Structure 1
Amino acid sequence: MNTLKALIRSSVNDYTAALKNPLWSLLTITTFTFTACNDNAETIPVAQQEIIEAVYASGYLVPDEEYQLFAQTEGVVAQKLVEEGAEVKAGDPIYILGSTQQDARYTDTQERYRQAQLNLGENSPVLQELRAGVQAARTKLAYDSVNYHRYKNLIEAGATSPAEFDRMRLAYENSQSEYWAQQSRLQRTTNQLQQELTTARSQLNIASDESGRYIVRSDRDGKVYYTAKRVGELVKRNELLATLGRSNQYHLELQIDELDIRKIALGQEVLTELDAFPGKLFRARVSKIYPQVSAREQAVRVEATFTDSLPGGFSGLSAEGNIIIARKQNALVIPKEALVGDDSVWITKEGKAQKVRIQKGIETMDRVEVLAGLDAQTQLLIE
């Protein structure tokens, strides 16, 4: 208070003289106004210390490679094969769903495929009958061919009548036509049965694939963090069944206000606290910045990978942290409350109060770095 009174007396004594000097009158009037109106002002030195600029972020803990399993078809949970916390391998079944209609369709397509195989096999009754017809036609053709050529020789020798020769020739031609017809019928039926087998196989594959959808499997190695259904519950198509991820490997998913996103870059350090571990600080680094702003929350999602090991973890743990934007050692730092306007401060110089302009650097919630305008010996005046 004595210092403040001395500054006031000095300012008053200089006030009259300053009025005679236009170049200094404005500064002196401003100085007098400050000292006269702030009886509670005090002087503090400019500090030289570390200053850190950071952006606040909040979010939660997420397993690495987290993914969700959805039902590919409708059904009822017949078996639930794992519980939360279980370790699974790629391909391990998680749920088995049941469906009476699907079971009936699968059985029907199996029977159709089996019948199609029999119809095309060596012991196929249909093909055996057709092959027998071809063989009979071939035998008759051979017999009629012999008679035709014998009667042809006889007619040339004049040993038979033309009517008998024509009868043998007609029988031979009819046998040829019948043989070709039987062969064509066999080939056509074989092709048809082959097509039926192909169709039946395709339908069986489709039914098998649909039945496979009733077995919900893990896509990769990991841990089951959440299961959504119990035995006997109805499952609809595209309904969530389970959440899985890497075992005991986590990262942070953080929300950043859209006003701060221009300050965020990959690789920046993140200092975070988890509610489950009070008093402990964990370090991470920004590993992914999503390009879309949430319209509802007006925030951007950021992922951070831990550089410190966690003593344990649970998916979904809430987290709060600061993303380090800038850090400087031995910086000239002043309290933010010392600012007058945006870029000025009151100081004492040679026993007088003066208002000076500064150049700011890093800013935090309560401190400001001074790049120019002050030095380490400067004494600030603040209320």
Structure 2
Amino acid sequence: MSNSSIFLGMIFILFILFSCSEEKNELVVKRSSIVESVYASGIIKSKGQYTLFPKTNGILKNILVEEGDLIRQNQVLFVIENENSKISSQNAYLLKEFNSFNNQKDKLDDILLQIDLAKSKFKSDSINFSRQKTLWTKKVISDIEFEQAELLYKSSKTQTQSLQKKYNDLKKQLQFSEDQSKKTYELSSNNENDFLLKSDLTGKIYGILKEKGEMVGPQNPLAIIGSDKEFYVELQIDEKDISKIEKNQPLEIKLDSYPNQSFSAQITKIIPILNERTKTFTIEAVFSVQPKILYPNLSLEANIVINKKEKALVIPFNYLTLNEEVVLPDGSKRKVKIGLKNFENVEIIHGLKENDRIILPQ
């Protein structure tokens, strides 16, 4: 075979390949539905999920649950020990008992006895003063004798009044001491309850973050707790997309733990403040039908449906140039006007019609 024959054969093969390539890249414009959506990433959270923190400092004496345990509301989960607080509580109890009104009643009884004696003396002195006054008026006794009787009368009267005031003051003081000691003990008891950490809800222990014997305080998280049945989705939305987001919008969710599946959900809450560090907004959504098995912090991706159109003129996004043009089979370019778009497709609202042919831009 001559060299010229080989050369002609190669040209023919290249022509065929080139023609096939062009045929492969050619697209017939068709109508179909298009969904415009906003992408978001996020995690699964348990309903009511919270991190349990101690209210006081101390040693983690007992851990009464394990990770994965189902728990009841108000169930004691952890016990913290603080010897100083324990002693303070005991002292508060002793002080309450000591200052109880009944325990101090003897002091009042002593004064009541003194008041009874003073009243008896006052009565006697009063009668005597009345007699002496009558005699003094008749000039039977001297002025000195009358003045002595009057002095005894006034003295016993003052003594009676003074003891009565002393009784009333002591009664108020004892009542105040009792009330104050009770309040101190109640406060101490409340503080003692702070050493028994309880669950705020019925659910599950998802994580225990400390070990028995460790020092803990209000800044140290102890456990992650949440519902064992109900879950929701927490998503991060870029600030440039937040104006498109509204409550009740539908979305499709994909979970790494459920490959090749998607789940429908609906937006229930938009947290109206920008995270300055990540430049994102947080939104929440609930599943239309919740997957059977979920755990907090499972990662996910979501597409939030912003708009949907049926029978739209649609082309793949990669057939559109950066200048919003399409390439015709003869290589010429045509300006188009676009409508809805997503990561895969774009709607053409002007510049093309159904069954037009375009090719992939080079």
TM surpasses 0.5: yes
Match of 1:74 among 57, 73, 97: 57
Segment of structure 1 superposing worse, 174-183 or 227-236: 227-236
Identical residues among aligned pairs (%):
28
Which residue, out of 275, 278, 293, partners 2:256? Answer: 275
Query: For 2:45 and 2:114, how far apart are their aligned partners in 1?
Result: 73
Q: Which residue of 2 aligns with 1:26?
A: none
Amino acid at match of 1:69: L
Q: Distance in 2 between matches of 1:289 and 1:252?
A: 12
Find out whether 1:240 has 2:221 as its counterpart: yes
Question: Residue 359 of structure 1 is aligned with which of 298, 317, 337?
Answer: 337
Amino acid at match of 2:102: G
Give the Å deviation of 1:73: 0.8
Structure 2 alignment gaps of length 5 or more:
1-17
| 1:116 matches 2:94 | no
Q: Could you list the runs of 4 or more consecutive aligned residues of structure 1 that deviate by over 6 angstroms after TM superposition? A: none
Distance 1:281 1:381, change over 3 A: closer
Deviation, 1:354, is: 4.7
- Report how many aligned residue pairs link the two structures: 341
The 1:265/1:166 distance shift into structure 2, 3 A limit, reads closer
**Deviations 1:43-84 (CA, angstroms, capped at 9, x unpaired):** 321122222222222221100121222111111122222223
Q: CA RMSD in A?
A: 2.3
Aligned to 2:9: none
CA distance in 2, matches of 1:205, 1:341: 73
Matches for 1:85-124 after TM superposition, within 5 Å:
85-117=68-100, 120-121=101-102, 124=105
Conservation of the 8 A alpha-carbon contact between 2:36 and 2:308: yes
TM-score (norm 1): 0.81
Matches within 5 A, 1:149-298: 149-298=130-279
Q: Return the offset for 1:178.
A: 1.3
Q: Shift in Å at residue 326 of structure 1?
A: 2.4
- Tell me the SS of whatever aligns to 2:32: strand
Q: 1:341, CA displacement in angstroms?
A: 4.2
Indicate whether 1:301 and 2:279 are aligned.
Answer: no
Counterpart residue number, 2:47: 64
Larger mean Cα displacement after TM superposition, 104-113 or 40-49: 40-49
Higher mean C-alpha displacement, 270-279 vs 86-95: 86-95
Q: Distance in 1 between matches of 2:125 and 2:334?
A: 129
CA positional deviation for 1:102: 0.6
Q: Tell me the TM-score normalised to structure 2 length.
A: 0.86
**Alignment-derived partner of residue 128 in structure 2:** 147
Task: Give 1:375's match in structure 2, choosing from 353, 358, 362.
Answer: 353
Aligned partners of 2:27, 2:84: CA distance in 1, in Å? 84
Checking the alignment, whether the CA contact within 8 Å between 2:30 and 2:355 is kept in structure 1 is no
Displacement after TM superposition at 1:123 (Å) = 6.3
Look up the SS of the partner of 2:313 in the other structure.
Answer: strand
Q: CA deviation at 1:273?
A: 1.8
